[in-house]
Amino acid sequence: MAKVLIATTELIPSLPYPAGGGGQRALSLGEGLRSRGHEVVYSLPMEHLTGKKDIPPDILQLAHNMTDMDEIVGKASPDVVIFSTAYLMRFYSRSVPTVLDLAANIELEATFTPGASLADVLAGRLDQYTKADLFILGSPMQIPWYSAFWMLAGLDLKEELYTVVPICFSPNLPAIPERQKVSFISAGMFYPWQNPFDALQEVLSALDEARSGKLVIYTGKHPTWAEINSSLTDPRSRLGESERLEVRGLLPFDGVVSEWGKCACAVDVMRPNLERRLANPMRTTTYLWLGIPVIISDFYWISELVKRYEAGWLVDPLEKGAVKSIVQEILRDPDVLRQRAANAQRLVAENLTWDRCVEGLDAFCRSPRRLRKSASIIATVASEVARMSAEQVAAAKELGRMEVELRVLREEAERAHKELKERNAEVSHLKQRLGAVMNSRTWRTVQFVKHKLLRIRQRGSRGQKES
């Protein structure tokens, strides 16, 4: 058996504080592995533990500050490390077999988050993917999406790169309480990439018209990443006021079991987008585990299970009035909820308990191995860009040297041109003086005397020859 360290950026539900889906996911993986005989320890963010009571010493001992994972891994000495998010791998460089959970589509979530961009997220993610030896997906629908990124990261798709572990819960399912009143529940944080409000408005419309039933919404700021949904914490700003609407805060997991479980039917219908189509919602599986049948969008991976087990109702979220019609049907015949509640728990018991779902992850932890890796596309491009940049710098230096030489030659040419102009001016001046001299009387007299002397010399030479 292996010692496994699970590092997450959120609190886990075993603590007496509200937890997000990431914390529940980390606990599910850990408890699943523990049920298979592995030793599991957790590393949680120290900034979210500081000031809280009743934190176990082993949790405090391995708490991280987001950037010190090498130190934490060294302290824990695990056989396998599981990261709940690639964010924690930014400064991670250990050679321990490493697993990365990709159940949350963080890359797609970034496209809906102000100030974030998919390009910036992916640039860092591809480097972080090269540090993993196994990836965990939340559903088979994510395989094509992440395969493209694995190729870009330089991973060999012929390798066993992933295992699918859907959102899962304890095999110890809670008892379904008697539900005397028909109440509908929508629970969890609202995020920029989610739009459940059209469906919830239809629920309220049906309840208002029937003057019966309640819609209870449990929501609030994210326990550890409040900035993500700080502007989406009061659904009344979108739904308006209604005597049929109750808005309550987030609860620790014990409160989730006791309070959510009182509701008779859940509503998990959202407008489709790529992030939602690839999602495997934590809240949906929570409802089913609690024995709450769910009205759900028809595009989720889990929707087919809901249909097969008759654990709820599937709707096209773009079909106006579809949710309202189902709510009206339930209000006319509330007994239909009883059988579907039992079906919901049977769905989970047979498909979504953590002891069943971690089989592939368990196999990796029993025989961990490192992946053979090559440079990612980003790293290859970066290397080529660096090479081209170096060549450009060298060419720029050579160009600078040639510019200096050209400037020197230009200065010498200008100097020579100036000297030539000065010489030409002197020659012109001398020509002018010579012309003036040649046109003067003295010059003509000299030439006449020179001519006469030449004639005399010539006559003297002939006389000598005759004698």
- Name the pTM for this structure: 0.78
Assess whether pLDDT exceeds 60 at residue 231. no
Q: How many Cα neighbours within 13 Å face the side chain of 142? A: 28
220: left (phi over 0), alpha (psi -120 to 50) or beta: left
Would the CA dihedral through 300, 303, 304, 305 be positive or negative? positive
Nearest partner of 162 among 142, 182, 176, 181, judged by Cα: 142
Task: Please tell me the CATH superfamily of domain 183-352, with its number.
Answer: Glycogen Phosphorylase B; (3.40.50.2000)
pLDDT at 304: 97
Q: What pairs with residue 186 in β-bridges?
A: 217
Domains 3-169+359-374 and 183-352 share a fold: yes
Fold of 3-169+359-374: Rossmann fold (3.40.50)
Any idea where the domains of the chain sit in the sequence? Answer: 3-169+359-374, 183-352, 381-462
Task: Print burial letters for 293-328: b (CB count within 10 Å at least 16), e (below 16).
Answer: bbbbbbbbbbbebbeebbbbbbbebeeeebbbebbb
Q: What is the pLDDT of residues 423-455, one digit of tens each?
A: 888 888 888 877 777 777 777 787 777 887 888
pLDDT at 167: 96
> Tokens 């390009």 sit at which residue?
119
Assess whether pLDDT exceeds 60 at residue 145. yes
Least confident of 21-35, 147-161, 262-276, 376-390: 376-390
- Contact status, residue 193 vs residue 203, Cβ threshold 8 Å: no
Nearest partner of 105 among 145, 78, 71, judged by Cα: 145
**Distance between CA atoms of 169 and 24, rounded to whole angstroms?**
9
Would the CA dihedral through 378, 381, 384, 390 be positive or negative? negative
Q: What is the pLDDT of residues 263-298, one digit of tens each?
A: 999 999 999 998 899 998 899 999 999 999 999 999
